[in-house]
Structures are given as C-alpha cells and as structure tokens.
A = this chain, B = another copy of it.
Amino acid sequence: MAVTDEAIEKIKGMIVSGALRPGERLPKESELASELGLSRNSLREAVRALSLIRILDVRQGDGTYVTSLDPQLLLEALSFVVDFHRDDTVLEFLAVRRILEPAATAMAASRISEQQLDALGAQLDKLGANPSVEELVASDLDFHRGIVQSSGNSVLCSLLDGLSGPTTRARIWRGLTQEDAVSRTLHEHRAILAALRDRDGEAARSWATVHIASVEQWLRSTL
C-alpha cells in the first residue's frame, strides 16, 4: 500500500480511536510527517484527501484541525459525489428521495415548532403566485430543508440535502417553466404545510409523496 494511503488510514485511526478529538489540532505537517514516517509532500496528499471529505480542516497560517465531524458536515461530501452523476441515474436518486422525504415530513409533523410553521408560511407568502423559476427552485429547496430539519434527525437531513442538491434540482426544474407545474408546486407546498399544522403525519407524508412523484413522473416522461 502506498505511504499516502497508510497515512490516511493512520490519521483515520487516530480520530476513530479518540486519540484525536473533533476540533483538535494536528501536529504541524513536518512533525506529523516524521511521526508517520513519510515526507511532507506525501502527508499533504493524505491531508488534502481527508479535507475534501470534510474530515480535516486546513487553515493556512494557522494549522490543521479535525472538524466537528457533524453528520451534516461529513455528508456534505455526498453532494460532491452526487454532482458526478448524469441524467441516467438521477431517476434513481429521485426514487430514494421519494422514500426519504415523505418519511421525514411525517416525522416533522409531530415535532415541528409553531415558529417554524409560521416561518414556512411566511416564506410561501413572500413568494407570491407568479415567481420566477429561480425563485421557485430556491424556495422549494428552503421549504423542504426547513421541514426535514424539524424531523430531528441530522443524518436524514444531510442525506436529503445531498440528494436533492442544487445541481440535480436545477437540472430537473429547468424546462419545467411552462405548464401548470409552478402553480401545482405551490399548491402542494401549501397542502404539506397545512398537514403539518394539523399535526397530521399521514397527510403530510402523502402530500410529500405526491409532490415528489409528480416531479418524478415529469422527469420520466421527458427523459
């Protein structure tokens, strides 16, 4: 195995074993390199790789730190990976989302706060009846994120965030400008919100399913 890969494993081991705690600072590159028995260049490759997936946080002029290791942070790397997929697998991602999002919405029904409900309502009101596509996409993203956050499961939240990342979402919405898609989306959002207000988990789940299924159907027909 290459020394760099060994270094990655060793650093991973130090973190998993607890020798390096979240937020803690690593020895400086030259020291860590000699500790692990490799050159600074090779060590840097390992550090760079771990920093891409948000395990390490490198600050020039300061030092290298272990991140908080929040699920939110780590799963952020997922969206990077998702970006590489082309349209042919988008349907599969969407299918997964169709499983997760309704479940998350249902979970949120019993936990979401009044303030959060009000905030979501205000957001929908602000959008108006004839938003631009860009506004709608941004609003859609915020709306669902807001709900999923209230599910109380940060892993679930990050996962959905990654799955329905800007790229995927934007690609789906593009070309959807015509039709009654906009008004239907707005209507579905209001229905979801109403179900949440009623604390009706099953209704919320159903509306969320319908909401995503309609996108899925449209996408399937155009592909």
Mask of A61-72 contacts with B, CB within 8 angstroms, 1/0: 000000001010
The reply to whether the CB of A155 lies closer than 8 angstroms to some CB of chain B is yes
- Shortest CB–CB separation between residue A24 and chain B, in angstroms? 14
- Shortest CB–CB separation between residue A149 and chain B, in angstroms? 13
Mark the stretch among A85-93, A121-129, A132-140 that contacts chain B: A85-93
Do B156 and A96 touch (CB < 8 A)? yes
Q: Which residues of B contact A2 (CB under 8 A)?
A: 60
- Shortest CB–CB separation between residue A171 and chain B, in angstroms? 11
Do A84 and B156 touch (CB < 8 A)? no
Q: Which residues of B contact A12 (CB under 8 A)?
A: 80, 83-84
Q: Which residues of B contact A41 (CB under 8 A)?
A: 41, 44
In the complex where A44-B45, A77-B77, A85-B71 touch, is A95 in contact with B153 (Cβ < 8 A)? yes
Q: Which residues of B contact A172 (CB under 8 A)?
A: none
Do A53 and B80 touch (CB < 8 A)? yes
> Which residues of A in the span 34-69 have a Cβ within 8 Å of any Cβ on B?
41, 44-46, 48-53, 55, 60, 69
- Shortest CB–CB separation between residue A19 and chain B, in angstroms? 13
The reply to whether the CB of A103 lies closer than 8 angstroms to some CB of chain B is yes
Question: In the bound complex, what is the Cα–Cα distance between A32 and B153 (angstroms)?
Answer: 43
Do B74 and A4 touch (CB < 8 A)? no
- Shortest CB–CB separation between residue A67 and chain B, in angstroms? 9
Do B83 and A16 touch (CB < 8 A)? yes
Nearest 5 Cβ contacts at the A-B interface? A49-B52, A92-B155, A45-B48, A49-B49, A99-B103
- In addition to A12-B83, A89-B154, 8 A-B residue pairs with Cβ atoms within 8 Å of each other are A4-B48, A41-B44, A45-B48, A53-B53, A69-B85, A92-B156, A96-B156, A99-B99
- Interface residues, chain A, CB within 8 Å of chain B? 2, 4, 8, 12, 15-16, 41, 44-46, 48-53, 55, 60, 69, 71, 74-75, 77-78, 80-81, 83-85, 89, 92-93, 95-96, 99-100, 103-104, 153-156, 159
